[in-house]
Amino acid sequence: MDLRQMEYLVALADEQHFTRAAAVCGVSQSGLSAAIRGLELELGGQLFSRTTRRVEPTDAGLALLPYAREVLSQASAGRDAVVRVTRELSGQLRVGAEQCLGLVDVPALLERFHRRYPQVVIHFTQAGSYDLLDMVRAGELDAAFVANSDHLGTLSRVEIGRRPILLLCPPGDALASQGSASWCDLDGRDYVDFHESWAVRSINDELCRSHGIHRRVRCTVNDIHTLLDLVHRGLGAALVPQTIAAKPQAAGLAVLQLPPDRMTEWVVSAVTAPTNAETAAAVHLLELVAS
């Protein structure tokens, strides 16, 4: 067993999809598959059950997973300890993020940044993507993690990943037994959606406009768990990124795929001021994101 295999194991367990896990690790799908097969041969047991739709850890995989996470954590802490004594960085880091982006674990990232650069004072703000972009433009934030890739002007953007938009319905909904929905299925329904400051709201609005879908947003929220609770209670359906549909609180809801469309992708990015105005703290934060 080596660190790379542990990284692949954790990514595949989290993503439950070979292509997405390979993208997270920056490796080809065939390379990741070969590494997992090699690990299974070495340990003498199957670590993942594979179907046409998803990949899930077996009991053996679940048994190994916490040790793999600990190995990666210790390796990360070791690298950070070396950086801490070889690089001096002080000042402050002002960073923001939209809630539950999924593709980047912001609290874990800030923890690692703090380990590497303990002299830097971190100020963290949670808000909708559009509010965060305004704060970066105004010089109030050094960096922000947002779910938006349009109308950025001179801001610098590093894409972190993409996920599809899915439809969530209450268990008793007429569509609940289907695995996918047509555009006609979305028309004339009641919906729960996020406030206009969230990027996913503008994605949903534009998606519906482009396909002639008339929808009634009966409930507007600023919290993911409230949205899921309202859908559970039958207050409406919801168009959400795959990372939200995969949350434990969404268990029991019907999850439907939408027809392929370029606008049904939810893109997560790290955004900073123009390159010539980036702070040293923001540059080092993006280095951690890239690694």
pLDDT in tens, 107-134: 999 998 998 888 899 999 999 888 999 9
User: What tokens were used for 239?
Assistant: 């168009």
Q: Which whole-number Å values give the CA distances from 228 to 177, 191, 245, 254, in the listed order?
A: 19, 11, 9, 11
DSSP 33: H
Of the pLDDT bands very low, low, confident and very high (cuts 50, 70, 90), residue 204 is: very high
Residue 101 is predicted with a pLDDT of 84
Q: What is the CATH number of domain 162-265?
A: 3.40.190.290
Higher pLDDT pick, 202 / 51: 202
In this prediction, residue 87 carries a pLDDT of 60
Q: Reply yes or no on whether the pLDDT at 25 is more than 90.
A: no
Q: Tell me the HSE value of 212 on the side-chain side, using a 13 A CA sphere.
A: 2
Dist CA 86 CA 109 (whole Å): 20
- Nearest to residue 145, comparing CAs of 164, 158, 163? 158
| Phi and psi torsions of 288, nearest 5° | -70, -40
| 168 against 85, higher pLDDT | 168
228 and 206 Cβ atoms separated by less than 8 Å? no
pLDDT at 143: 93
- What is the C-alpha to C-alpha distance for residues 32 and 105, in angstroms, rounded to an integer? 22
| Cα→Cα distances 133→104, 160, 163, 254, 287, Å | 17, 16, 21, 33, 20
What is the rounded distance in angstroms from the CA atom of residue 15 to the CA atom of residue 213?
A: 31
Q: How far is residue 37 from each of residues 8, 18, 231, measured CA to CA in Å?
A: 11, 12, 40
Assess whether the region 86-160+268-290 and the region 162-265 belong to the same CATH fold: yes
Q: Is the pLDDT of residue 185 over 80?
A: yes
Q: Is the pTM of the predicted complex or chain greater than 0.85? A: no
What value does the mean pLDDT of the chain take? 87
CATH 3.30.70.240: does it fit domain 3-81? no
For residue range 265-275, list pLDDT tens digits in order: 888 999 998 76
Break the chain into its structural domains and give their ranges. Answer: 3-81, 86-160+268-290, 162-265
Q: What is the pLDDT of residue 88?
A: 67
What pLDDT is recorded for position 150?
72
Q: Which CATH number fits domain 86-160+268-290: 3.90.480.20, 1.10.620.20, 3.40.190.10, 3.40.50.2300?
A: 3.40.190.10
